[in-house]
């Protein structure tokens, strides 16, 4: 039987070879390809030059990646076939949790989540990769546990950005690059660019639907295709959220977002006839009169299809374009973030956490992800620049003068551009290793070259993925290699290393504090690969490099040797925030605490803790309470105001008279610190921060 099968396979292979020989042509002999051309012409698809796709492609795809066609999950047969393996894994017990990426690309996300839950015969933890605007909420009737945590990543990062210096940082940025364009302006321009290029074919398909609707009524039939296309592009470029969620109903939130976008588009339009915006609005809100059931169905289908396009327009226009154009403080330029949102005051953090505890207690909490533009530790360093705005401005001026001669002229313009140069200096301060040998420095140099090449192409100003400007990229790469060349005396590199010291010190403290806040906030914390200790990765593929787990195991073994009540022995762990020991220690101890207090962390509410004294502004403190259980988190922020500098940690007497007030606890109650293993007893229902943070820069107290 096996011999017969082998002979059959050989015969099939021979037949395939004969068929290929009949259709394959010969290079340099165009006529020999006629048979292949005739065969391809008979197919349901057309083979085309890749640049044609952005104008003529007629199927949904993954953003602008043409070889990943979207599947129509709204059809039950498609859903069943494509989810067969996933459902089997869940039902067999092999998988307990599912993550749904890019649900905004679905025709009906709410219905999809319902079907996915129903298909699973056992409960499954389900989170979605949904970008939520600062003023937006995930619909509470969706059958999900929450999002994958991008919003939280930006909220917690904002704690370490000082809102008081926004105008100073903005003036520094605009003065350096010679432009005062706002982030909002950049996003509008970038989204129009994406609609005009990468997603032009999708815009054409949507416009064709709208044109057919317009022609069905004598009042609107004279709106031309170009008028409708331009109007739709204006409205989508002004959309305040990734998409609406119109289904059988037009919800109040959807109507509000549509009205907002149309009003803004109309006010900024240069079109002669702005009445087209009223027509577009009524089509999107399904308020257009429909004389026939067919027209009503067409309007309904149009409104729902537009929703699938606004999301990729936002993603490609903002995350993959504007984030690389507007680089005032790039720690704010990350997925789910808004660079206009400069810092997150403690009171606002408390409001966001209270809302999450009430409505989405099991949502995921992220700080670094596979999608981030820079890791949490890179952002934590760059945040520190807001604690030294004057020094940052002077440093930029000095470096610009030092490096001006290293630039080359490309198309009569210096390369790199001032904007790319400003971005580069932030990235260097955020990611440069504190200690690096010759080989490690060479590797780092090439990582930065690759990062800046990608950043330049994403910005689509001097170069792009579609039209690579090789001279500009080569000049920028040469500039970077000169800046980071350690093979000979290099005054800039020496100065960069000196400037890095205070930035990295404050950034390391921020990283430790961020870990403590994340692991005790309402939600399910997620630690991206390698980020249990310091990791200075940049955007993919840089953050997909192999993780040195052997080193992390060695670090963990050293920490375990400290025992359950390390107290003063922690001095070595937190002596230098840049060795990563402190961050890993906090992660290890708090994951243990979460396991011990599983019920509390799953069910506890959120209570802001009042802080008084000289360092009140420099503390974020909150309590998680459930029945008799309580956990209180205390973490530092903006610590340079306390006198923290290289060699000084925000611990002990530096906090002066700063106190935590815990009126919900009994007088004389004793709390034990999960970090230091030290116990503290309440006096006047309060605790001195100097005592709580005597042996570590963070404390997590439990009764």
What's the burial of 643, exposed, middle or buried (CB within 10 Å: 0-12/13-18/19+)? exposed
Mention every residue, 6+ apart, whose C-beta is less than 8 A from residue 9: none
CA–CA gap between residue 176 and residue 164 (Å, rounded): 20
Burial class (CB in 10 A: 0-12, 13-18, 19+), 375: buried
85 to 72, 90, 94, 121, 159: CA distances (angstroms): 18, 9, 11, 13, 42
Q: Read out DSSP for 254-276?
A: HHHHHHHHHHHHHHH---S-THH
Are 101 and 364 within 8 A, CB to CB?
no
Q: End-to-end CA distance of the chain: give it in Å, rounded.
A: 72
The Cα–Cα gap between 197 and 111 comes to 32
Question: Look-up: residue for tokens 């059931």?
Answer: 293
Q: Which residue has the higher pLDDT, 71 or 330?
A: 330
pLDDT at 99: 97
How many Å apart are CA 420 and CA 428, to the nearest integer? Answer: 12
Mean pLDDT of 76-89: 96
Q: Are 584 and 555 in contact (CB under 8 A)?
A: yes
- Going by the DSSP 8-state scheme, the letter that residue 392 receives in this structure is H
Distance, in Å, from the CA atom of 280 to the CA atom of 274, rounded to the nearest integer, reads 10
In this prediction, residues 85-113 reach a mean pLDDT of 95
For residue 561, what are its two tokens?
Answer: 């040797």
For tokens 């009171």, the residue is: 347
pLDDT at 51 over 90: no
**Strand partners of residue 99:** 127
525: confidence class by pLDDT, cuts 50, 70, 90: very high
Segments of 276-358 assigned E as strands: none
- pLDDT band of 379, cuts 50, 70, 90: very high
CA distance 606 to 625: 7
10 Å Cβ neighbour count for 56? 11
Task: Tell me the per-residue pLDDT of 543-553, one tens digit each, with 9 for 90 and over.
Answer: 999 999 999 99
Beta bridge partners of 623: 607, 632
Task: Kindly tell me the number of DSSP H helices and DSSP E strands found in the chain.
Answer: 26, 18
- Which pLDDT band holds residue 270 (cuts at 50, 70, 90)? confident
Q: How many CB atoms lie within 10 A of CB 450?
A: 16
**% of the chain with per-residue pLDDT over 70:** 100
**pLDDT value, residue 272:** 65
* Sequence-separated (6 or more) residues with CB below 8 Å from residue 352: 155, 344
Which strand (E) or helix (H) includes residue 687? strand 686-688
Q: Of 269, 306, 255, which is closest to residue 107 (Cα–Cα)?
A: 306
Per-residue pLDDT, averaged over 418-442, amounts to 96
C-alpha of 412 from chain center: 36
Q: Distance (Å, rounded) from C-alpha 628 to C-alpha 425?
A: 50
Q: For residues 281 and 228, is the Cβ–Cβ distance under 8 A?
A: no
C-alpha distances in Å from residue 480, one per residue of 416, 456, 496: 9, 13, 13
Based on C-alpha coordinates, what's the Rg of the chain? 29
Q: Give the tens place of pLDDT for each residue, 650-688.
A: 999 999 999 999 999 999 999 999 999 999 999 999 999
**554-573 pLDDT per residue, tens:** 999 999 988 777 878 898 99
- Averaged pLDDT score across all residues of the chain: 94
- DSSP track, 106-141: SS-HHHHHHHHHHH-SS--EEEE-----TT----TT
Residue 550: count other Cβ atoms within 10 Å of its Cβ: 8
Q: What is the 3-state secondary structure (H, E, C) of 180-205?
A: CCCHHHHHHHHHHHHHHCCCHHHHHH
In 3D space, the residue among 104, 157, 111 whose CA is nearest the CA of residue 132 turns out to be 104
Which residues are paired to 660 by β-bridges?
A: 611, 687
Instruction: Answer yes or no: are the C-beta atoms of 144 and 367 closer than 8 Å.
Output: no
DSSP state of 683: B
pLDDT of residue 365: 98
Alpha-carbon span 131 to 161, nearest angstrom: 21
Q: How far apart are CA 475 and CA 455, in angstroms?
A: 15
Check whether 63 has a pLDDT greater than 80.
Answer: no
Residues paired with residue 631 on neighbouring β-strands, in sequence order:
624, 702
Residue predicted with more confidence, 268 or 499: 499
- The CB density around residue 409, as the number of other CB atoms within 10 Å, is 10
- Output DSSP code: residue 373: S
Largest CA distance in the chain: 94
Q: pLDDT digit string (tens) for 127-164?
A: 999 999 989 999 999 999 999 999 999 999 999 999 99
Q: What is the pLDDT of residues 621-644, one digit of tens each?
A: 999 999 999 999 999 999 999 999
Distance CA 19, CA 426 (A): 58
Query: Is the pLDDT assigned to residue 619 strictly greater than 70?
Result: yes
Number of Cβ atoms within 10 Å of the Cβ of 92: 10
Q: What ranges in 535-604 are assigned the alpha helix state H?
A: 549-560, 570-573, 581-596, 598-603
pLDDT score, position 581: 96
**Does an H or E element contain 700, and which?**
strand 699-702
Structural contact between residues 682 and 654, judged by C-beta atoms closer than 8 angstroms: no
The answer on pLDDT for 271 being more than 80 is: no
Specify the pLDDT at position 670: 96
């Amino acid at each position: 039987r096996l011999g017969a099968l082998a002979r059959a396979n050989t015969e099939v292979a021979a037949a395939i070879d004969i068929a290929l020989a009949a259709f394959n042509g010969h290079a340099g002999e165009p006529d020999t390809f006629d048979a292949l051309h005739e065969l391809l012409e008979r197919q349901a698809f057309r083979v085309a030059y890749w640049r044609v796709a952005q104008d003529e492609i007629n199927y949904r795809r993954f953003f602008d990646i043409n070889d990943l066609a979207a599947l129509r999950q709204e059809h039950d047969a498609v859903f069943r076939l494509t989810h067969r393996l996933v459902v089997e894994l869940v039902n067999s017990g092999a998988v307990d949790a599912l993550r749904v990426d890019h649900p905004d690309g679905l025709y009906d996300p709410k219905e999809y989540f319902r079907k996915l839950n129903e298909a699973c015969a056992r409960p499954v933890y389900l989170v979605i990769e949904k970008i939520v605007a600062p003023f937006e909420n995930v619909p509470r009737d969706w059958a999900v546990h929450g999002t994958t945590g991008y919003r939280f990543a930006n909220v917690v990062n904002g704690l370490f950005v000082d809102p008081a210096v926004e105008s100073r940082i903005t003036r520094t940025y605009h003065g350096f690059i010679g432009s005062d364009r706002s982030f909002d302006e950049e996003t509008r321009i970038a989204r129009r660019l994406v609609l005009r290029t990468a997603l032009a074919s999708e815009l054409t398909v949507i416009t064709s639907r709208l044109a057919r609707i317009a022609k069905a009524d004598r009042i609107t039939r004279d709106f031309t295709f170009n008028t409708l296309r331009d109007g739709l592009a204006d409205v989508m470029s002004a959309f305040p959220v990734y998409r609406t969620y119109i289904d059988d109903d037009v919800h109040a939130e959807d109507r509000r977002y549509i009205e907002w976008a149309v009003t803004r588009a109309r006010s900024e339009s240069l079109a002669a006839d702005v009445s087209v915006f009223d027509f577009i609005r009524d089509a999107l809100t399904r308020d257009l009169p429909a004389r026939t059931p067919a027209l009503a169905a067409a309007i309904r289908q149009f409104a729902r299809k537009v929703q699938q396009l606004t999301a990729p327009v936002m993603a490609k226009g903002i995350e993959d374009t504007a984030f690389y154009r507007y680089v005032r403080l790039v720690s704010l330029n990350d997925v789910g973030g808004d660079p206009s949102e400069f810092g997150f005051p403690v009171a606002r953090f408390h409001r966001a956490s209270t809302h999450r505890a009430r409505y989405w207690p099991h949502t995921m909490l992220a700080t670094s992800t596979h999608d981030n533009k820079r890791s949490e530790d890179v952002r934590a360093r760059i945040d520190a620049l807001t604690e030294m705005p004057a020094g940052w401005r002077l440093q930029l001026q000095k470096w610009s003068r030092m490096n001006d001669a290293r630039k080359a002229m490309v198309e009569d313009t210096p390369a790199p551009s001032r904007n790319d140069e400003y971005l580069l200096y932030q990235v260097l301060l955020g990611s440069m290793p504190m200690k690096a040998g010759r080989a490690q420095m060479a590797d780092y140099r090439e990582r930065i070259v690759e990062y800046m090449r990608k950043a330049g192409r994403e910005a689509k100003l001097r170069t792009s993925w579609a039209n690579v400007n090789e001279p500009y990229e080569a000049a920028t790469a040469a500039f970077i290699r000169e800046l980071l060349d350690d093979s000979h005396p290099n005054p800039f590199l020496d100065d960069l290393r000196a400037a890095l010291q205070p930035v990295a010190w404050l950034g390391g403290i921020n990283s430790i504090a961020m870990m403590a806040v994340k692991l005790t906030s309402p939600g399910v914390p997620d630690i991206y690969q390698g980020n249990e200790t310091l990791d200075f990765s940049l955007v993919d593929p840089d953050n997909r490099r192999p993780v040195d787990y052997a080193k992390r195991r060695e670090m963990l073994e050293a920490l375990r040797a400290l025992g359950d009540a390390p107290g003063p022995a922690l001095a070595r762990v937190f002596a230098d925030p840049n060795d990563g020991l402190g961050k890993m220690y906090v992660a290890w101890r708090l994951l243990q605490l979460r396991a011990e207090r599983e019920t509390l962390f799953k069910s506890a509410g959120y209570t802001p803790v009042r802080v008084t004294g000289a360092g009140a502004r420099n503390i974020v403190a909150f309590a998680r309470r459930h029945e008799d259980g309580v956990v209180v988190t205390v973490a530092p922020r903006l610590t340079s105001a306390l006198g923290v500098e290289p060699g000084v940690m925000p611990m002990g007497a530096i906090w002066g008279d700063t106190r935590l007030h815990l009126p919900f606890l009994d007088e004389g109650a004793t709390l034990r610190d999960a970090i230091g293993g030290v116990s503290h007893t309440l006096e006047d229902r309060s605790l001195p921060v100097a005592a709580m943070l005597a042996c570590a820069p963070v404390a997590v107290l439990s009764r």
